[in-house]
Structure 1
Amino acid sequence: MARELNKLSAVMVKQAIAGKYADGLGLWLVKADRRTGKWVLRVVVHGRRREMGLGSFTDVSLKEARDEAEKWRAVVRSGHDPIKERERQRREQQKNLHTLADVADDCFEAIKATLKGDGSAGRWMSPLTHHVLPKLGKVPVADLDQVDIRNTLRPLRDTKRETMEKALGRLNIIVRHAAALGLDVDIQVVDKAKALIGASQYQPKHIPALPWRDVPTFYASLDDASVTHLALRLLILTGVRSRPLRFLHIDHIDGDVWTVPADLMKSRKGKAEDFRVPLSPGALAVIDKSKRHARDGYLFPSARTGVISDMTMSKFMERRGLEARPHGFRSALRTWLAECTEAPHEIAEACLAHKTGSEVVNAYRRTDYLDERRRLLDRWGHYVTTAKDEGASETEASISNVVPLRVGAGA
């Protein structure tokens, strides 16, 4: 009986020519020639013959083939199809190797070239790393369902609606990336989760801003020439966002123009461009004072490594007892432009690097209104650095006498 079960030997397997050779109980060696061949297990499942490949004879030894054959015979004896069972096991293994965290990382690597600064700031992954992956990161992406997502993100619905929506958007991209990888995922799982989360009464809050009339007083209080004070002063005078200011490098400045590289600009759909900022006399004075703090060419370094953080400036204003935040100075400038100047809408928006009009209009508009913006920011700088509380109305009156700016053809 033993001989009938083990008809082949290692030498026979190696030297056999083209043909089919039985080892016993359904295990066969199928040779195409001396060098190539495979192991095949023939079994009968529910009255139907099945042939199951067990690998090349050059990769799987005779002993390994016999062990593998016995494992799958046991599956047949239990009433299951060994081929289907092997596929099921492979799917399970695949799922375990593709958790949500794994796919999220792979997805980020695939799309980061389209993100600002190659996503180095970490903002794309932030909603996931803070609110999703701690709970769902180890879940196989094929097992992810709408209830999991609902339970994870609904607590944010009435408190951090924007964060929740960003997380859902990122998850949708990741699920589609998983589908592109060939994983068995529900492509509509995020839409189903949105339906389960439902609507809320949440109203987004605007970033608190200091009223423009109070800006000169606050500016005057920034008087100790520290990195924080100087950074806030330049933020006020230029109207830029905090990121380009924090990463301001001496090489970005040429005379009285600061060119912000595209990768530091906020953009949609990866269409950021370099942005020129005209520097008023007051802004140039702040930059000159900041040079003594420079490290590796950056004018606003942190106390340890890198550059000053958003939180440094925000915490400073918080300690001053202010509800307003640094980003709000852009709102103060925009409101001042609307109330105290006759700047055309396009130029006022350009001061804040906002684009107006359609893509077609912008494609033909070949100007960034640098000279017009220079005159406006010079006036803003003069107001901020010279106005006093009791003299604000006088300053406003003097501003109203300036000849209004006109939009050039710029085509």
Structure 2
Amino acid sequence: MARELHRLSTVFVRQAPAGKYADGGGLWLHKRDGSAGQWVLRITVHGRMRYMGLGAIADVPLREARDEANKWRTVVRGGSDPIKERERQRREKERNLHLLADVAKDAFESRKAELRGDGKAGRWFSPLELHVLPKLGKVPVADINQIDIRDTLAPLWHEKAATAEKAIGRLGVVLKHAAALGLNVDLQAVDKARALLGRSRHKAENIPALSWPDVPAFYKSLSDGSVTHLALRLLILTGVRSRPLRFIHADQIDSDVWTIPAELMKGREGDTSEFRVPLSGEALAVIEEARRHARDGFLFPSMRKGVISDMTLSRYMERQKMEARPHGFRSSLRVWLAETTGAPHEIAETILGHVVGGKVERAYRRTDFLEQRRMLMERWADFVTGKSGKVVQLAEARG
């Protein structure tokens, strides 16, 4: 039987002249000339002769052609049409190529140029990766509806509203990306899911902050020269977030300006640029003292490896029986600016690293108010260190 099925040889397939040659069991070699040819499986389905192409001999070797022929003969014995079955499998395969996980990754790749640091920090993709893809990642994007989205995000909707909002927003972007790829998706699924989820019961709670008149006393208590004390001092003096503060590197400091890489910034949607922080004399003194702790250029290293964690600063304040947290010093600074300096809104917001105005407005403004901010941050340092409580009045900023 094996001999009847396997009449051809690899050498014959390669050297045979034009013609038709049977390998047995309905598998035929059709040679058009001395080099080109095709495999054809001749089968009878429901009493009707069918011819099924199995590929060119240049792409499909003899052994593979025999395996394919045997697979489809098995389908015939099962009472099915192998040609229709192959088409069904092809459609299923194409459908599976458009799983939500694959489309989401493609959407992320397409948006990288718009994100800070090409999205290396992962903030854009992480809401999808953590809260959507584990449940819906293997679902074809064309099959996703509002019920799927509601059921996926319902556990977050009332407990972690901000996270859920980011996740559903990113999912909307992915569905639009899928539509742009020509896939049949429901672009209204996200809006309909929002309607099903309803209004979130979650109430945002502000991070506890130290009242600005109380900041000097706390600053004065940070006097032992440790990494934790110095980090908190610089955090207060600059008004930056914890992440860029913890990852401050000696190479980021040039004279009295600290340039924070774009990937370390947060909350600057639409702005992928670096952020310059003017350093007061007091901030420079803190940095100089921190250099003796530096490891691999990082000014605030942890005890073992890497840099200090966000919890290091928070737990220090907890041990001091304080309700306020490190992030709250940004609020202390912002209120101080509003109540004692009369600083224009755009300058005060820029001090905190916030993006002010739309893309067009920023394109024409072309300034980060560095000199105005330098004056205000020097005055803040004087206030924090108890040197001066003088009120500063700035003129309205002009683009």
Fold equivalence (TM over 0.5): yes
The normalised TM-score by structure 1 is: 0.81
Q: Which runs of 5+ in 2 are unaligned?
A: none
Q: Give aligned-pair identity as a percent.
A: 65
Write the letter of the residue equivalent to 1:88. Answer: R
1: distance between equivalents of 2:258 and 2:268? 22
Structure 1 residues 287 and 6: CA distance shift in structure 2, 3 A: closer
Offset of residue 156 of structure 1: 0.6
* Residues 194-233 of structure 1 mapped to structure 2, 5 A cutoff: 194-233=194-233
Offset of residue 372 of structure 1: 2.1
- 1:168 maps to 2:159: no
- 1:234 corresponds to which residue? 234
- 1:32 corresponds to which residue? 32
Write the letter of the residue equivalent to 2:121. Answer: A
- 1:405 maps to 2:379: no
Write the letter of the residue equivalent to 1:274. Answer: E
- 1:390 corresponds to which residue? none
- 1:349 corresponds to which residue? 349
2: distance between equivalents of 1:98 and 1:362? 38
* Residues 4-153 of structure 1 mapped to structure 2, 5 A cutoff: 8-10=7-9, 13-22=13-22, 26-43=26-43, 45=45, 50-60=50-60, 62=62, 64-92=64-92, 104=104, 108=108, 111-137=111-137, 146-153=146-153
Structure 1 residues 191 and 78: CA distance shift in structure 2, 3 A: farther
Structure 1 residues 134 and 368: CA distance shift in structure 2, 3 A: closer
2: distance between equivalents of 1:161 and 1:121? 22
- 1:359 maps to 2:348: no
Offset of residue 229 of structure 1: 1.4
For residues 23-60 of structure 1, the C-alpha deviation after alignment (integer angstroms, 9 at most, x for no partner) is: 56654322121211111124455677643211233554
User: Is contact 1:146–1:192 with CA below 8 Å preserved after alignment?
Assistant: yes
- 1:254 corresponds to which residue? 254
2: distance between equivalents of 1:131 and 1:321? 35
1: distance between equivalents of 2:165 and 2:358? 26
For residues 211-230 of structure 1, the C-alpha deviation after alignment (integer angstroms, 9 at most, x for no partner) is: 21222222222222211211
Structure 1 residues 202 and 32: CA distance shift in structure 2, 3 A: same
For residues 333-368 of structure 1, the C-alpha deviation after alignment (integer angstroms, 9 at most, x for no partner) is: 111111112222232223223343343332222333
User: Is contact 2:246–2:308 with CA below 8 Å preserved after alignment?
Assistant: yes
1: distance between equivalents of 2:360 and 2:105? 36
- 2:321 corresponds to which residue? 321
1: distance between equivalents of 2:231 and 2:29? 77
For residues 130-170 of structure 1, the C-alpha deviation after alignment (integer angstroms, 9 at most, x for no partner) is: 43444455656676555444323211111101111222233
- 1:391 corresponds to which residue? none
Offset of residue 383 of structure 1: 1.4
Offset of residue 310 of structure 1: 2.2
Offset of residue 290 of structure 1: 1.0
2: distance between equivalents of 1:140 and 1:49? 36
Pairwise CA RMSD of aligned residues? 3.6
Write the letter of the residue equivalent to 2:395. Answer: R
Moved more, 12-21 or 105-114: 105-114
- 2:303 corresponds to which residue? 303
